[in-house]
Structure 1
C-alpha cells in the first residue's frame, strides 16, 4: 500500500515559485473537481505602494467589504438611468462597471507603504491586513506572502521586484516596468531564471479592443502597415524647464523619506516631488512617454510584432536637468519582421497630435480621452483610443463594409485575473516581464533620445547587446549609479 503525504497549497505554490524547472502547477479541477476551490487556494497578496494605482490594484483583486453595499446601491441607480445614455456613455459606464465589479481573487494579507498617511484609506479598506513601511522587513517576516503588487514610483519598481522575485514571490508591477532600460533587462532575465509569474499593470492589454486590433491587422484589414502615429495629452503634472524646488520643508511624520528615495540620489524632501508629481521628475519618473506609452505603444508593439527598434530620434520643448520636457516627438524605426514591412512609429505628447487623415469625417475627434493610435496601411487606416478602446476603420463607411474575422486570440478575464490564474494553474500571463521588459525598453529608449542636446541625433540601437552604437555618451542614460545600500 502506498503512503500519501498532504502538503498545503501555500507550500506547493512556494515550491513552484522557487523551482519551476522541477514542478508543474496542477489545475484545481484535477485536485478537487471542476468547481473545487479550497480555502487554501486563496493566495496571500501584499500590496507595496498602496495610494493611487496601488489602491485600485488591490481593489481589483479583493473588493473591501465596506464597499460592497455601496456598489449594489450604485448598480441599482445606474440601471434606472441606462436608457438615457448615449452609446459612448454606455460604453464608458460598462468599462467603469467592469472595473468596479466586486472581486475576491485573493487575500490582501499585507500592506506596505512608506507614507502611512497616504496609505490610510487603503489600510482602512483592509483592516485585517498587516501593515509595514519597509517592504524588505515585510517580506522577511511574513513568509505566508505568495505574491506582491508593486505600485510605487517608477524609480523603486526594480529594486522591489528583484527582491521579491529572489524570494520566490510572484510579482505584479505597475507600468512602466522600470525607470531605466538596464533595470527592465535585468528584471526580465531574473523572472525567467526564478520562474515566478509576473505581470505588468498595463490593463489595456487585456481588453477586447486590444484583441480586435491585432486580429484585424493580422487579417489584412488595412493591408501592409508602414506607419503608426501614437499620441497623448499627457503630461498632466508639473514638468518642463523647471528646477527642483529648493526650499526646506519638514518631512511629514508619517513618511519615511529615505525609503521613498530608495536607490535615487539623496535629496531633500518637498511635497511637489512626492505623490503623483514624481512622474515629471527625472530622478523618479519617466515622463509622459513612460506613463502612457505602456497603454498606447503596447497595442502596435503587440499587434504588429514590432520587437525593439533599430533607430530612434527625438525633439522636444525645453527641459531642465531635473525634469522632463512639456512636449516631445519621438520617431522609432522598426525593421521588417518576416513578411511584415519596416514600420515607422511616431510618438507625440504634450498636446501635439498627428494630422487628421483626409478621409476622416468632419467633426469626428481623434482617438479618445486626448490619446490615440493611428495605423496607416496601404489599403486603409485603423484608429483607436487609449487602452485599445474603440478600434474603428476610418472613414466609418469602411468600418460598415468590413467583414470582421472570426476571433482567433484567447480573450482575457482581466489583467489581474489572468495573473492570479497563472499563479494557481500554471501558464503565462499576457504582459509578463518577457513581454513588458522589451516594451519598457522601447519606451525608455525614446527618453534617452529626448535627452540628446542635438535634436538631429539619430541613435542606433543594438537591442541584443543593450548598446547605442553610434553615440557613446548616450549609453550613460541606460542606467544610473544607485545610492549606497541599494542594489539589484
Structure 2
C-alpha cells in the first residue's frame, strides 16, 4: 500500500400523562396505573439522552420499545438541522418530538412532557434520572461518562468508546469505583451469529487459533452530504458550536466538520479504523478470549490519509497486532468484511447476519454445558435494562469496550508514526517509543480539561 506524502499532520420520575388540568370525572388509562400488562410509572427507569444526532434516533427507538423504560430528557447543543445521516434532519427538538409522538400514540393521549436540555451537566446531576445514554461524537464521551458515574447514573455509551486510550482507562476506573452498570454500544455482541462463532473458536472447533483477520470499510464516505461544504461560514443559529468543539482545539466552522462527518477529523474521532474498530475487533477479542488484555506488538503499519481540506483520517489501512500467545490479529480495509478466525483445523468467518465455518461439519457440533458458553444477549438495549434491574454486568461493559477500541487506537498511532510499536497491555504504555506515548492522552481545551481532571479517580 502506498503512503501519500506529506500526510496531514496530526502528530425519579415523570408521569406518562400530559401536564395540565384534567376534567372531572377523569378516566385514567390502565397504562398510567401499571395495569393491563403495563409497568407502573414508579417502577420505570427514567432514561435521558446526551446527544440527539446520528445514532440517537436508532437508540431511542430501541429503548422506547421497552415498557420498563421512560425516556424523560433529551440533551443536545443543536436545536435541529439537516446534515446528519444521508443529509437528514436530527437534533434536540427532532428527537424530543419522536419521543412525544411515540408516547402519545401508545397511550392514546397527547404527551408533551419530554424535557429538552442544552447542558449535559443538568442531566447527569438530575436526581430524577436513573440512567443516561451518551451518544455524542467521540471526543465528547469521557467527560459526561465520568460525571454520570460519579452521580451514580447507569450508562449506555455508544462506540467507538473513546477518543484516546487514556480516556478509556479513566472511564473504566470510574465505572468500577462507583459501581454503575455500563453498556458499550458494540451491539454485535448481542448478535446470535457472533456468539456462535466465538463459542466455536473458544472451544477449539477450528483447532489451535493462529490468525484473526478483521476487514473494515475504508474511505471517508460523505454520510452527511456536506463533504463539499469546506469553506468557513457563520455558525448556524441554535447550534452552540463552541460547546460542540468542547475539549477539542479551536477550529473554524464549516458544515463538513460536524454532525455525522465529524468522524473523518482526528480531533474528534479516528476514521473508519475507530468507527468500525468498536465492532469487528471487539468480536475478535471476544473470540480470542482477550477481553481484558491486548496485543504486545503492533507491526507492519501501512496507510493512506485523506487529502480533503477538512478531513484527515486514514482512507486505506493495514496493521498487525501480535499477542503474547502468538496469535496474530490483522486489521485491513482490503480484507473480507467481517471477522475471520483461522485455526489449525479450520476457519470461521462472521459478519452481520451471516457466518460460515470451514469445513462445514464443524458447524454441526454442539457446545455442551460443560464447555465455554459465552454471555448470551439477544437485544443490546434490553440487556442494559436487565442489568440495571439485576445489577449484573452487561454484555459489553466499560473495561471490555475500552480494551476493544484500544486495538483501533494502537493501529492509528502506529500508522501515524509509521513504525512498529511494543505495547504493555498491563501498564497500557508503549515500551519502545516516547512519541507514541504522547498519543495516549490529548490536551483538552479549557474549561473542559479542568472538568475532566476533576472527575478522574
- TM-score, normalising length: structure 1: 0.74
> Would you tell me which structure has more helix in proportion to its own residues?
1
Structure 2: give runs of 5+ residues left out of the alignment: 1-11, 14-36, 81-89, 101-112, 453-457
Task: Give the CA RMSD over aligned residues.
Answer: 2.4
Aligned partners of 1:412 and 1:150: how far apart in 2? 21
Instruction: State whether structure 2 residue 403 is matched by structure 1 residue 438.
Output: yes
5 Å-filtered alignment, 1:292-371, equals 292-306=276-290, 307-313=293-299, 314-319=301-306, 323-336=312-325, 342-349=326-333, 352-353=334-335, 366=336, 371=337
Distance (Å, rounded) in 2 between the aligned partners of 1:398 and 1:413: 25
- Taking the aligned partners of 1:391 and 1:334, their CA distance within structure 2 comes to 25
Gaps of 5+ in 1: 1-8, 11-34, 63-101, 337-341, 354-365
Q: Distance in 1 between matches of 2:271 and 2:68?
A: 32
Corresponding residue SS for 1:477: coil
Say which SS state the counterpart of residue 121 (structure 2) adopts. helix
CA distance in 2 between counterparts of 1:405 and 1:463 reads 31
Deviations 1:380-410 (A, max 9, x none): 1111114xx3222135x4456x423246334
2:250 equivalent in structure 1: 266
Query: For residue 60 of structure 2, what is the aligned residue in structure 1?
Result: 58
Q: What is the rounded CA distance, in whole Å, between the counterparts of 2:340 and 2:176 in structure 1?
A: 34
Name the residue aligned to 1:40. Answer: 42
Q: CA deviation at 1:322?
A: 5.8
From 354, 368, 371, the equivalent of 1:390 is 354
Equivalent pairs counted in the alignment come to 384
Q: 2:343 aligns with which of 358, 377, 382?
A: 377
Name the SS for the 2:321 alignment partner: strand
Cα drift, residue 54 of structure 1:
1.2
- SS of 1:384's partner is strand
**1:115 is matched with which residue?**
78
Equivalent of 2:124, from 139, 147, 171? 139
CA deviations on 1:413-455 (whole Å, 9 max, x unpaired) are 4111111111112111011112112212222111111111xx3
Q: How do 1:174-213 residues align onto structure 2 when only pairs under 5 Å count?
A: 174-213=158-197
**Residues 391 and 481 of structure 1, relative CA distance in 2, 3 Å threshold:** same
State the partner residue of 1:85: none
CA contact (8 A) 1:177 1:436 kept: yes
| Contact 2:206–2:362 under 8 Å retained in 1 | no
Give the conservation status (yes or no) of the 8 Å contact 1:59–1:103: no
Q: TM-score, normalised by structure 2?
A: 0.79
Distance in structure 1 (CA, Å) of the matches to 2:95 and 2:229: 29
Deviation by residue 1:350-389 (Cα, 9 ceiling, x = unmatched): xx12xxxxxxxxxxxx5xxxx2111111001111114xx3
| 2:257–2:311 contact (8 Å) kept in structure 1 | no
CA distance in 1 between counterparts of 2:193 and 2:405 reads 21
CA contact (8 A) 2:71 2:114 kept: yes
CA shift for structure 1 position 36: 10
Q: Which residue of 2 aligns with 1:414?
A: 379
Q: Deviations over 1:117-172 (max 9, x none)?
A: 131321211232100111113334x3201111011100001111111111111110
Partner of 2:206: 222
Q: Partners of 2:324 and 2:192 in 1: how far apart? A: 28
